[in-house]
Amino acid sequence: MVQRLDVARRREPHTQRRHDERAATGPAPAGPVRHDALLAPAPRTPGPHHVLAVAVYLAAAVAMWSHVWFGGDPAHTITCNCGDTSQQVWWLEWFPWALSHGHDPLLTNAMWARLGGVNAITNTSWMAPAALLWPVTALFGPVASFNVANLLAPVVSGWAAFVLAGRFSRRVAPRLVAGGLYAFSPFMLRNTVLGHIDLTVTAYLPVVVLLGLGLLTRGVRPVRTGLVLGGLSVLQFFTGVEVMAITAVTVALGALLVVARRPRLVRAALGPLLVAGSVAAAVAGACLAYPVWFFLHGPRHVQGPFWPVVSSAPWRIVDAGANVYSTHTSLRAVGYLGPQGPSTDFLGFGLLAAVVLSAPLWRRRTSCALVAGVGLLAWVLEFFPARAWASLPVLSSVELVRFALPVSLCVGLLLAASIDAWWEAVGRRWRTVSDAARRGAARGAVVALSAGAFVPLLVTYSLPFTVTTARVPAWFAHDAPRLARGTAVLTIPFAYALESQPMAWQAETGDAFDLVGGWAFVPGANGVDDELMSPPGGAVAALRALSGDPRRVTPAVQRAVRAAVAAWRPLTVVLIPGDARPGALAATTATLGVPPRWSDGAWVWTFGPTSRLGPVHPL
């Protein structure tokens, strides 16, 4: 007994020393090694951390769009009044206009007037964002809504990824990095400059993953989770179906990996999963039954892929592509006049190397291993065989390269876990007071190397974005609002596909008229596939020929145009000299057989319900 007491006394000073050292250096940080997203309950994030994340992402978004918000005019400054940008401006104006005027918001004849109209659900019509931005549109116009939407989209998406990253890191900085990579990846930046709200408001993906992880832990209320998931699914459907489909595929891949890796965990959570899924399905089904039918079988719907299916290549993730800094690329026709930037599926060697080299620190965490697996499978989907993908129902309309979205999220989460793990490893290696200098130097190296991993990506960016002033021809600003309701406007050049400037002019004049043509997915010549896959003939082909090369217009083209104009009355034909090609005025006059009148900088032909065309003059 005496000997044991002596041993205890001899050990006491050593124990006290260790206690004193821990008190001096502070408690060991909550390490991610013991924290697994599949097992631990969701950590609580203090309110100031949420505010910080939103502020950081908002500051980055403002910096990218500084030419709009500092020195520009948010109501008129835009990337380009052309291509996809015009399409976004049009839909932001259309939805509130339709509701306020008692029109069906799911089917519009304000575009493709006299040609059957447009199914708004088949197209990326951004109904939910348009509804939320209704006050901005009403007060300042659709261009202002465009700028607000593109400013806030990365903030919302990044904040959602920041919240999800709390499952992988308890420190603020790594979580900010994860959310920042997701919100400002090349995928996001390319779609932001083109005005693709449906592909930049992407909070749905990380939130659905977060809700799913919550259902795998105890104490979660499955009914409430189901209600939230169902409500978010309804909002996402009216924001963009493509992100909804990408999320479904990503979650399905994750679910398969969880079942394979942790079957007992899934069996234990099967009840909450079924309850939440049933509630979500009931909410979404009740709200979306008719819109889904309208999307699949409603008037003017299309089937099959919207675009020719094209696979990416495996090396594109580390290859930024050609003409990164060039402004003379095909991107100009789509709607952006600035440098092309990196390809949408590019992340760079630095980030991938950082994640791979850190794998020994996080590979034993089930959640990180599953995220790595999902990211790898999503990356493989980017170069999935095009012919096989084109045969899939619904999913064939998802461009394969857009699976870069979940890849960027997975890489961001793994990067957060990696930074956290290195920070912890340094703390464990040099934890005493005497090691403070080495600990600080090592952690400084972690910060420097983490920042350096972003260099190969960031050097491909050209910021801030290039913008210009939205130009609306005087005739559309002054004369178009005075047209009688029901009059359609046919523009020369013909508004078709990417040559969609008249859509922006129509939106910026408050939808004062119906536009013949436009940029939308509508049934083509076979009545099933969209017009890009099955090019329409007849009047559309004739008008494209008249606009594309007026000096080579044939008698057959003239006959088709005249028949269409006679059938579409009341109709106003407007030729904008600055936009029309040489010879367009002579060719149009010869085809219609009556001279135009000059009004507010445009040549105008007006045909009332009973107006007659003059004799045709062959060219």
Distance (Å, whole) CA 419 – CA 362: 10
Quick one: pLDDT band at residue 616, thresholds 50, 70, 90? very high
pLDDT of residue 196: 95
pLDDT-based confidence at residue 364 (cuts at 50, 70, 90): confident
**Model pLDDT for residues 244-295, shown as the tens digit of each residue:** 999 999 999 999 999 999 999 999 899 999 999 999 999 999 999 999 999 9
Asked if 524 and 497 touch (Cβ cutoff 8 Å), the reply is no
DSSP 377-425: HHHHHHT--HHHHHTSTTGGGS-GGGGHHHHHHHHHHHHHHHHHHHHHH
Per-residue pLDDT at 220 exceeds 70: yes
pLDDT digits (tens, 9 = 90+) for 194-205: 999 999 999 999
- DSSP character string of 453-518: HTHHHHTT---SPP-EEPP--HHHHHTGGGSPTT-EEEEES-EETTB-HHHHHHHHTTS-SEESEE
- What does the alpha-carbon distance between residue 38 and residue 262 come to, in Å, rounded to a whole number? 9
Answer with the residue of higher pLDDT: 293 or 38.
293
Q: State the DSSP H helix or E strand holding residue 605, giving kind and residue range, or none if neither.
A: strand 602-607
What does the block give as tokens for 607? 């045909």
Q: What is the mean pLDDT of residues 348-360?
A: 97
Residues 412-433: what's their mean pLDDT?
A: 94
Identify whether the C-beta of residue 574 lies closer than 8 Å to the C-beta of residue 604.
Answer: yes
Q: Which residues of 457-482 are buried (b: 16+ CB within 10 A; e: fewer)?
A: beebbbbbbebbebebbebbeebbee
Higher pLDDT, 219 or 165: 165
Q: What is the reported pLDDT for 7?
A: 40
Q: What pLDDT, on a 0 to 100 scale, did the predictor assign at position 497? A: 87
Q: What is the mean pLDDT of residues 425-442?
A: 91
DSSP SS3 for 269: coil
Residues 6+ apart with CB under 8 A from 253: 373, 374, 377, 378
pLDDT score recorded for residue 432? 87
pLDDT tens digits for range 510-560: 988 999 999 999 999 999 999 989 999 999 999 999 999 998 999 999 999
Residue 30 confidence (pLDDT) above 80: no
Mean of pLDDT over the chain = 91
Extract the tokens encoding 385. 């065989």
> Which carries the bigger pLDDT value, residue 499 or residue 63?
63
Tokens linked to 3: 């000997």
CA–CA separation, 357 and 57 (whole Å): 28
* Confidence grade of residue 574 (pLDDT, cut at 50, 70, 90): very high
Region 181-206 average pLDDT: 97
The candidate with the shortest Cα–Cα distance to 300, out of 115, 523, 532, 535, is 523
- Looking at per-residue pLDDT, the higher value among 36 and 391 belongs to 391
Give the pLDDT of residue 433. Answer: 84
Q: How far apart are CA 479 and CA 483, in angstroms?
A: 7
- Look at 539 and 5; give whichever has higher pLDDT: 539
Rounded mean pLDDT of 598-614? Answer: 95
Task: Say whether pLDDT at 381 is over 80.
Answer: yes
pLDDT at 14 over 60: no
DSSP of 314-374, one letter per residue? GGGGT---S-TT-SSSTHHHHT--S---S-TT---HHHHHHHHHTHHHHTTSHHHHHHHHH
- The single-letter code of the amino acid at 541 is A
pLDDT band at 24 (very low <50, low <70, confident <90, very high): very low
Q: Which residues contact 380 (CB under 8 A, 6 or more apart)?
A: none
What are the residues facing 108 on neighbouring strands? Answer: 118
* Distance from C-alpha of 150 to C-alpha of 464, rounded to nearest angstrom: 13
Helix (H, G, I), strand (E, B), or coil: what is residue 300?
coil
pLDDT at 13: 46
Tell whether the model's pLDDT for residue 483 goes beyond 60. yes
Direct distance between the N- and C-terminal alpha carbons of the chain, in angstroms, rounded to an integer: 120
Residue 492 has pLDDT above 90, yes or no: yes
Listed residue (613, 508, 496, 593) closest to 545, CA to CA = 496
Give me 217's structure tokens: 């832990």
Per-residue pLDDT, 35 = 57
**Distance (Å, rounded) from C-alpha 470 to C-alpha 76?**
5
| Residues 130-164: tens digit of each pLDDT | 999 999 999 999 999 999 999 999 999 999 999 99
Question: 6 pLDDT exceeds 80?
Answer: no
At 170 the pLDDT is 86
**Residue 39: its pLDDT value, please?**
66
